[in-house]
Structure formats: structure tokens, C-alpha cells
Amino acid sequence: MSVRTRYVIANWKMNGHRDLVSAFNQTFANYQGDTKVIVCPPFTLLGSNWDEQIKLGAQNMSEHAQGAYTGEVSSDMLKELQVSYVIIGHSERRALYGESDQLVADKVQSAINNNLMPVLCVGETDEQREAGETFHVVKKQISTVIEKIGTDALTKVIIAYEPIWAIGTGKTATPAQAQDVHQAIRAYIAESNSNAASQISLLYGGSVNADNCSELFEQKDIDGGLVGGASLKPEDFHKICISV
Ligand code: PGA
């Protein structure tokens, strides 16, 4: 058992209304697990009343501090709503909204500057895995961030490895496949900063559910999960949280 902080993070994506917040509050009122439970609802629900067992994260934020950026939300606006975490560079943002590695790095830097903990998402497509490029892709995604923030600051970051072919598909990476990439990420960080490598929490995401979570979370370098679909069902999500 590692001493690293273990997390289960719910990514509701563009789903959920106030009734889901109430259902979560009821389900988690007596939660006593050691794993940190973070819910990332749509922006519109961040200001709701949340049970104190649940910590809040946003799904995205602007790299800018303020100004003429219609539709964007800044890190200090999130802080005002008691948000402590923010997902950065989710594959849906990279693919659908054109977020580049450089933009993702700028956002990570901006989150850290404002004491928000970024949850940096990385992962390869099906084609990239088939071509044997998985680690090359993941390393590039991480190295662009390291060039921007340095390796010491990685202790203020969570990395979520989410193979794109496993997101929302029901096709989970096997525990061994996930562990391989997690181990490679930790080894890559250790090349330049062994302290950061041993401290950083690395989460797995991609079709995690109440049935497959235990096997994944048992792996040596997997410190929890980032959960999409199954995080919309409070009971299932609770099961996942207590299985870490
Ligand atoms: P999924 O989504 O659990 O529905 O695969 C995970 C994610 O996109 O973070």
C-alpha cells in the first residue's frame, strides 16, 4: 500500500441537475473511506450545497486570469465556489475543442498558480496503441507540461491516464495494460525527479465501473480512478470509492 493520496474523481461531463447533487449528498453523508472523493459536475452545479465529504472539481478552466473571453471561467472564479481541483486536457476537450498540448500546459500552470490542483489527462487513441506509440504519445503530453511548470511542481498535479479507446466504450484497459503505462509514467518522471515520481498520484480512467474497479486499483502504480459514466449513479460511484 503506497503512502500516496488516493482519489476517486467523478467526471459528470455535460450531465446532471440539482436532483443528482441531492442524491450524492444522501449517499455520501456517512462516507468514511480514506480515499478522497471529488466530484466534477458542470459549472452550473458547482455553487450548490454539497456534503462536506465531497470535494469539488471543475471539468475545465481558462488559461487566462480575466478579460474578454466570452463563455470562459477563470481559476479564481472557481476558487470562489470552494473548488479545489480542475480536470485539464480531457481527451474530449483535446479532440472536440482543439486543445493542444501547449494550451493544456498553460492551463496547468494557471491552475497551480492559483492553488487549484490540476488533474492532467493523458492517453492514446486506438490507432496509436495499435502502432505501438502509446508511451510516446503519453510522454509528449506530459513533457510539454513539465517544460512549462518544471518537475518540482508535479507534486501539485494529479495525472489521469485515460486511453481514449476505453472512454465511454465499456472497453476497459486490462489491469496489466493500465499498470504498464502507469509504471512507465512514474519511471519517466523519476528520470528527472524521484521525489515527484514517488509522490504523484496517478489515476486510471476509461470505463471504470463497480465491477472492474478493485482489480485496477490493486495495481502498484494506480492510485485511484477518474470515472465518467458510472459516476452518474450514486450507489455505483460509492462502491467504487470504497473499493480503492
Ligand atoms: P468513462 O469516462 O468512465 O465513461 O469511460 C471516463 C472519462 O472520460 O473521464
Q: What per-residue confidence (pLDDT) applies to 3?
A: 83
Considering the chain, what is the average pLDDT of its residues? Answer: 97
**Mean pLDDT calculated for residue range 116-137:** 98
**For ligand 1, what atom is nearest to the CA of residue 209?**
3
Concerning whether 162 is annotated as a catalytic residue, the answer is yes
Concerning whether 182 is annotated as a catalytic residue, the answer is no
Fold type of domain 7-243: TIM Barrel (3.20.20)
- Cell numbers 482519489: residue: 7
Pocket test for ligand 1, best of 87, 90, 208, 209 (most atoms within 8 A of CB): 208
CB 210 within 8 A of CB 238: no
Closest CA to 230 of 30, 5, 39, 83: 39
**Mean pLDDT calculated for residue range 94-98:** 98
pLDDT grade for 1, boundaries at 50, 70 and 90: very low
**Mean pLDDT calculated for residue range 185-210:** 97
Residue of 63, 99, 124, 162 marked catalytic: 162
Going from N- to C-terminal start, the domains of the chain cover 7-243
> Residue 77 pLDDT more than 70?
yes
- What element of type H or E holds 27? helix 18-28
Q: What per-residue confidence (pLDDT) applies to 244?
A: 85
pLDDT grade for 65, boundaries at 50, 70 and 90: very high
Q: Which pairs with CB-CB distance under 8 Å and at least 24 residues apart come from 228-232?
A: 228/11, 228/13, 228/167, 228/168, 229/168, 231/10, 231/11, 231/12, 231/39, 232/12, 232/15, 232/16, 232/20
* Cβ-based neighbour number of residue 24 at 10 Å: 27
Residue closest by Cα to atom 3 of ligand 1? 228
State what percent of residues in the chain have pLDDT above 90: 98
Residue closest by Cα to atom 7 of ligand 1? 228
* Cβ-based neighbour number of residue 176 at 10 Å: 9
Pocket test for ligand 1, best of 88, 120, 169, 226 (most atoms within 8 A of CB): 226
Cell triple for 47: 455553487
| Residue 163 near ligand 1, beta carbon < 6 Å | no
CA-to-CA separations, 124 to 3, 70, 202, in angstroms, rounded: 28, 31, 16
pTM: 0.97
CB 37 within 8 A of CB 55: yes
> Residue 52 pLDDT more than 90?
yes
**Mean pLDDT calculated for residue range 142-148:** 98
